[in-house]
Amino acid sequence: LNENHFLSCLVEFSKTSPAAVQVNVRDALNQAMDEELERDEKVFLLGEEVAQYDGAYKVSRGLWKKYGDKRIIDTPITEMGFAGIAVGAAFAGLRPICEFMTWNFSMQAIDQVINSAAKTYYMSAGAQPVPIVFRGPNGSSAGVAAQHSQCFAAWYGHCPGLKVVSPWNSEDARGLLKAAIRDNNPVVFLENELMYGVPFDLSEEVMHKDFVLPIGKAKVERQGTHITLVSHSRCVGFCLDAAAVLAKEGVECEVVNLRTIRPLDVETIEASVMKTGHLVTVEGGWPQYGVGAEICARIMEGPAFNYLDAPAVRVTGVDIPMPYAKILEDHSVPQIKDIIFTVKKVLNM
Amino acid sequence: GIFVTSGRSMVASSRSYADFTPEKVDLHRLEEGPPLTATLTREEGLKYYRTMQTIRRMELKADQLYKQKIIRGFCHLYDGQEACAVGIEGGITLSDHLITAYRAHGYTLTRGGTVREIMAELTGRRGGIAKGKGGSMHMYTKNFYGGNGIVGAQVPLGAGVALACKYLGNDQLCVSLYGDGAANQGQIFETYNMSSLWKLPIIFICENNQYGMGTSVERSSASTEYYKRGDYIPGLRVDGMDVLCVREATKFAADHCRSGKGPILMELQTYRYHGHSMSDPGVSYRTREEIQEVRSKSDPISMLKDRMLSNNMASIEELKEIDIAVRKEIEDAAQFATTDPEPPLDDLCSHIFANDQPFEVRAATPWTKLTSTS
């Protein structure tokens, strides 16, 4: 076991609460879809291998057995075509969940996501809503190399007309996916393959079939006073791990889990920065024109700037295509030590 | 609209019905095609005449307004192709669905839009069919999904609508149109595949007007037999300048879909008098002689008019009255379109999301606060 894994276990163990059930992110997504399929006949799932294969990453396991061919549809490997079909089905009143096996393949279909889905309600002056969810794993995985490791948070987060959501843990996955499916607008739902197998405790309240989380609201995962760490998806866990280490040296980090990329919850970030006076953003994606860049720009333009005691700094993926060899890959993504190092630099320690 | 005659100046021996023999129909993977005779009633004839004339006059007025710089941006005119939009609508109902590309003004009309709101959308006014937010390429009505700017993208969208029809079990179908230029798009072949696999109730229609922008079909397509390009999908090719041919082919195709057989592909051979758009004079890649020849020998409106007159189904005076009424409708619409105010600035950020609370939208600078409402 390496240090990262050990620290992750510590964080998980400390979260146990009464009347809780352990659910990993994969199962949280699966249950969310199952419940929403049951709740509304117009909801259906399409994508590659979602039906008879039980999902390339098993996220849709058991759904085809339960709901059949009409509602769980295996598509050929033709992203542009099936994404367009999904959007057209949404035009005509259905509520499709369109899975991209990974978000890398969405580039084949990106015109349908942006030009057909995101912009239509506006172009039609409100005549044509598009109630669709696009979902799938995003960002780096393990050993899948350059073409299968890109993070699309910044690309989709750039576009008006889309809601872009990036859950970290099982509660996020469950509540945000249910919210996304119930939303009457196009939602880009960015999952993370390495999080699928990670278990979290979920309370009875979270397990309720109508539990939804608000899209566009960040969550403070850990209170702190010295510095604000803002992150999304898997990196939230790294921030919490870094915070645990830093706490031993007397540095209390406030960790903000964005949960939603667009619309960005600037108010929660500002409130935190106005409290701590220091900001570090952490993301897996590339630095240029990224999520962290947007957060820093907004903080500069808003009331929190006057509370900053040091420039805001970003921790990001390395600005290269993802290499294959493990040692190289490990050095291409932000590690816990990078976060700790950055915090100390920003705090002038 | 439907024209009601007062019965004035009718030729004594007028007939209500006439039988016409359409031009040949080319078939692909079909044992038989649409019937070789079509019946046109007087009411139908007058309706088709009026609608085609309305589209014609509307497009010519748009040309005028564009040259006066009252319409700006992209403007892709449909004059010459009227028999396609009108004939297709004659073969389906308004509960069926239709989607097309950007040469869409004619379809917006046949799908229930008014000339007024179409023209006001072209001039970017608040009374436009999309409140000035969409423009020429983004007009919508019930069961009409635009107006789409990205070549080919509308075809899978149409299959999605067809999927919804099948899913909901409502016996409706979707007509999905594209041009000869779009016919080579990969996503169209992806759509052929999925529509066939899943037996979607979709009619693919290729409006072959011989030119994709400035590129003739011979220069863009290794195979110009667009009705065969669906391969395993049955296809037919008909004269797109003849409103009856188009109607009968559409009826035939609609029956095919509604009987659960899955997709079918129609190619309509047609022609556009204008260039690709208003910024294209349309004569650098084709000859004026060619355009003139089509106008004189194959004009869809003249063809219908001649048929009705020579079969005593209407009088010259009657048709002239329709022309006058259409002209007036277009003038009134143009008047509205040029005097209606532009959309209010409050509308700038509206219609981003459906069914949402109002939210703040970033303006050009951080100090300006804009609000979006649903």
B235 versus B8: the higher-pLDDT residue is B235
Q: Which residues of A touch B174 (CB under 8 A)?
A: 88, 92
Percent of chain B whose predicted confidence (pLDDT) is above 90 = 92
The pLDDT assigned to A3 comes to 46
CA-based nearest distance B367→chain A, Å: 9
Mean of per-residue pLDDT scores for chain A: 95
Q: Which residues of A touch B99 (CB under 8 A)?
A: 88
Q: Is B149's pLDDT higher than 70?
A: yes
Model confidence at B213, pLDDT cuts 50, 70, 90, reads very high
Q: B160–A111: do the CB atoms touch at under 8 Å? A: no
Burial B68-88 (b: 16+ CB within 10 A, else e): eebbeeebbbbbbbbbbbbbb
Beta strands in chain B (DSSP E): 17-20, 26-28, 38-41, 97-99, 174-179, 202-208, 211-212, 215-216, 235-239, 264-269, 359-362, 369-372
Closest CA to A165 of A197, A145, A189: A189
pLDDT per position as a tens digit, B193-207: 999 999 999 999 999
A75 touches B at CB < 8 Å: yes
Q: Is A224's pLDDT higher than 80?
A: yes
Closest CA to B323 of B302, B307, B294: B302
The pLDDT assigned to A1 comes to 42
Percent of chain A whose predicted confidence (pLDDT) is above 70 = 95
Helices and strands, number each (H, E), in chain B? 11, 12
Is there a catalytic annotation at residue A148? yes
The pLDDT assigned to B37 comes to 82
Residue B368: other Cβ atoms inside 10 A:
9
Query: For residue A104, which phi and psi values (nearest 5 degrees)?
Result: -60, -35
The least confident of A170-179, A314-323, B7-16, B175-184 is: B7-16
Is there a catalytic annotation at residue A79? yes
The pLDDT assigned to B3 comes to 33
Which residues, numbered 292 to 331 in chain B, qualify as contacts with chain A under a Cβ-Cβ cut-off of 8 Å? Answer: none
Out of A85, A87, A124, closest to residue B134 by CB: A124
pLDDT per position as a tens digit, A327-341: 999 999 999 999 999
Out of B150, B164, B353, closest to residue A111 by CB: B150
Out of B149, B150, B167, closest to residue A94 by CB: B167
Catalytic residue among A36, A48, A79, A254: A79
The pLDDT assigned to B1 comes to 27
The pLDDT assigned to A23 comes to 98
Q: Is A18's pLDDT higher than 80?
A: no
Q: Is B15's pLDDT higher than 60?
A: no
Q: Which two tokens stand for residue B202?
A: 């979709």
A285 versus B17: the higher-pLDDT residue is A285
Burial B290-329 (b: 16+ CB within 10 A, else e): ebeebeeebbbbebbbebbeebbbbbeebbebbbeebeeb
Q: Is B8's pLDDT higher than 70?
A: no
The pLDDT assigned to A2 comes to 46
Out of B162, B168, B186, closest to residue A80 by CB: B186
Closest CA to B270 of B178, B187, B149: B178
**Burial (0-12, 13-18, 19+ Cβ within 10 Å), B345:** exposed
Q: Which residues of A touch B153 (CB under 8 A)?
A: 84, 111-112, 115-116
A158 touches B at CB < 8 Å: no
The pLDDT assigned to A293 comes to 98
From CA B327, how far away is CA B333, in angstroms rounded?
10
The pLDDT assigned to B35 comes to 87
What is the SS3 assignment for A321?
coil
Q: Which residues of B touch A120 (CB under 8 A)?
A: 146
Out of B163, B165, B193, closest to residue A78 by CB: B193
The pLDDT assigned to A205 comes to 97
CA torsion sign, B132 to B136 to B137 to B142? positive
From CA A229, how far away is CA A245, in angstroms rounded?
14
From CA B365, how far away is CA A298, in angstroms rounded?
12
The pLDDT assigned to B262 comes to 97
The pLDDT assigned to B176 comes to 98
pTM of the shown model: 0.94
The pLDDT assigned to B36 comes to 80
Helix (H) or strand (E) holding B191: helix B186-197
Q: Is B85's pLDDT higher than 50?
A: yes
Helix (H) or strand (E) holding B367: none
The least confident of A14-18, A219-223, B140-144 is: A14-18
- Tell me the sheet residues that pair with B17: B41
- Tell me the sheet residues that pair with B206: B178, B267
The pLDDT assigned to B341 comes to 98
Q: Is B7's pLDDT higher than 60?
A: no
The pLDDT assigned to A111 comes to 98
Q: A85–B354: do the CB atoms touch at under 8 Å? A: no
Mean of per-residue pLDDT scores for chain B: 94
Q: Is B247's pLDDT higher than 50?
A: yes
Inter-residue contact A271 to A257 (CB < 8 Å)? no
pLDDT per position as a tens digit, A38-77: 999 999 999 999 999 999 999 999 999 999 999 999 999 9
Which residues, numbered 57 to 116 in chain B, qualify as contacts with chain A under a Cβ-Cβ cut-off of 8 Å? Answer: 97, 99
- Per-residue pLDDT, averaged over A217-226, amounts to 98
A107 touches B at CB < 8 Å: no
Q: B153–A263: do the CB atoms touch at under 8 Å? A: no
pLDDT per position as a tens digit, B18-75: 666 666 799 999 999 998 888 899 999 999 999 999 999 999 999 999 999 999 999 9
Q: Is A202's pLDDT higher than 90?
A: yes
Q: Is A121's pLDDT higher than 90?
A: yes
